[in-house]
């Protein structure tokens, strides 16, 4: 037993029971045009339709469900570019726990506002990882709140893993499972779920070329803790954590890199053909199928569409000038 061990599959199964009363049973979508594009059978788990608009609600709900009474009374705190912040805010409210979220100033407005809308105290900070941590540390010292990490906490990883469990249960088995990778919570959880449920499946993380710390960390066997990220996938700017790096290293999880242009094309494909609003961080896991970067011919492929929180200000202003702004 190591302090950096991930959750076991039993922990994932427990998380699933714990959060079942709260999470949406999101649909699994299919698309003829996508299947044709990659000559495979693709099943997409619509976590953009999850509460708070992303899978992050699973991990946050499990983390809060695991707190002791004394911890609940202290309240919870996190830093997040957005989706984990919203997720923790709602999960906390549903458990009657107060929440503080530290959000970088460059996070999409829609994500910041949503966290506040769920009743959390939103504290802005400069956009670097170091600033996020410093601001959070200061607030913890002041308030005694319990920190719920966005990706490296065991309870959070176990919660994120439940998306893959649901997907496999309703549409499995799979030969390939694709998820985005930022901090690595979803990818680690999916790896752990797959190990037990579809042991022969290849689990692959999709990462922006402009934020390729996971790719380089796993290739070199050494975690890059800070990355100068340049990508439109705002949810994937976080580096792997110590625990997620360890889980992914041990399992030999593979990473594919995706350009921003491919992310936008895949995002547009999903909006246009599947009528689903997904964010860039989700489209990244569709891109390798559309552009042939990943040969999957004849295979059964599962994809986690991680979220749909994207600011629509520019889109509506452009589509309906004079009508589209609020």
Which residues make up the interface to its own copies (CB under 8 A)?
Answer: 27, 29, 48-49, 53, 110, 232, 260-261, 264-265, 268, 271-272, 274-278, 308, 310, 312, 314-320, 323-324, 326
Looking at the Cβ atoms of 225 and 261, the one nearer to its own copies is: 261
Q: How are strands ordered across the β-sheet holding 176-180? A: 28-29, 41-46, 300-305, 176-180, 202-208, 254-258
Nearer to its own copies, 111 or 246 (CB): 111
d(CA 218, CA 231): 20
**Based on CB atoms, which residue is closest to its own copies, 165 or 232?**
232
Q: Which residues contact 222 (CB under 8 A, 6 or more apart)?
A: none
Q: How far is the CB of 53 from its own copies (least distance, A)?
A: 6
Minimum distance, C-beta of residue 277 to its own copies, in the bound complex (Å) = 4
Of the pair 77, 304, the CB lying nearest its own copies is at: 304
Task: Tell me which DSSP letter residue 54 carries.
Answer: B
In angstroms, give the least distance from the CB of 272 to its own copies.
Answer: 6
Minimum distance from residue 322 beta carbon to its own copies (Å): 9
Question: Which CB, 29 or 156, lies closer to its own copies?
Answer: 29
Closest approach, Cβ 48 to its own copies, in A, equals 5
Residues paired with 121 in a beta bridge: 100
Give every strand in the sheet of 121-125, ordered side by side: 121-125, 99-104, 76-79, 146-147
In the bound state with its own copies, the residue whose beta carbon lies nearer, of 9 and 271, is 271
Neighbours of 167 (CB within 10 A): 25
Q: Are 318 and 59 in contact (CB under 8 A)?
A: no
Report residue 131 as tokens. Answer: 């600033």
Cα separation, 125 vs 88, in Å, equals: 18
198 closest CA partner among 276, 302, 98: 302
Least distance from its own copies to the Cβ atom of residue 278, Å: 7
Q: Between residues 81 and 309, which has the closer beta carbon with respect to its own copies?
A: 309
Query: How far, in Å, CA of 213 to CA of 216, rounded?
Result: 5
Which among 60, 55, 41, 264 has a CA at the least distance from the CA of 148?
60
- Cα distance between residue 163 and residue 156, in whole Å: 12
Work out how close the CB of 279 gets to its own copies at its nearest, in angstroms, rounded to a whole number.
9
Sign of the CA dihedral with 248 first, then 223, 145, and 130 last: negative
Give min distance, CB of 232 to its own copies, in A: 6
Distance of alpha carbon 326 from alpha carbon 316, whole angstroms: 9
| CB-nearer residue toward its own copies: 198 or 278 | 278
């Amino acid at each position: 037993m190591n302090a950096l061990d991930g959750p076991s599959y039993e922990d994932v199964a427990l998380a699933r029971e714990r959060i079942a009363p709260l999470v949406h049973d999101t649909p699994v979508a299919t698309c003829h045009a996508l299947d044709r594009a990659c000559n495979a059978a693709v099943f997409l788990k619509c976590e953009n339709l999850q509460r708070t608009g992303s899978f992050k609600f699973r991990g946050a709900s499990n983390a809060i469900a695991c707190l002791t009474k004394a911890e609940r009374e202290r309240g919870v705190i996190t830093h997040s570019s957005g989706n984990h912040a919203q997720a923790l805010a709602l999960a906390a409210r549903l458990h009657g726990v107060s929440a503080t979220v530290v959000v970088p100033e460059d996070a999409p407005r829609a994500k910041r506002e949503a966290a506040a809308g769920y009743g959390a105290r939103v504290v802005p900070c400069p956009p670097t990882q170091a600033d996020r941590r410093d601001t959070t540390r200061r607030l913890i010292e002041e308030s005694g709140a319990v920190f719920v990490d966005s990706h490296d906490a065991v309870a959070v990883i176990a919660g994120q893993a439940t998306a893959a469990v649901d997907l496999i249960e309703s549409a499995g088995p799979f030969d390939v499972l694709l998820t985005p990778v930022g901090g690595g919570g979803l990818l680690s959880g999916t790896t752990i779920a797959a190990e037990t449920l579809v042991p022969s499946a290849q689990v692959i993380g999709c990462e922006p070329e402009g934020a390729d710390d996971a790719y380089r960390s796993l290739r070199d066997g050494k975690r890059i803790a800070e990355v100068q990220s340049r990508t439109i996938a705002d949810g994937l700017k976080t580096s792997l954590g110590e625990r997620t790096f360890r889980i992914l290293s041990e399992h030999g999880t593979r990473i594919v890199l995706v350009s921003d242009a491919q992310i936008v094309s895949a995002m547009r494909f999903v909006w246009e053909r599947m009528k689903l609003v997904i964010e860039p961080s989700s489209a990244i896991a569709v891109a390798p199928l559309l552009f042939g970067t990943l040969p999957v011919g004849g295979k059964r492929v599962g994809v986690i569409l991680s979220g749909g929180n994207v600011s629509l200000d520019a889109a509506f202003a452009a589509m309906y000038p004079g009508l589209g702004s609020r």
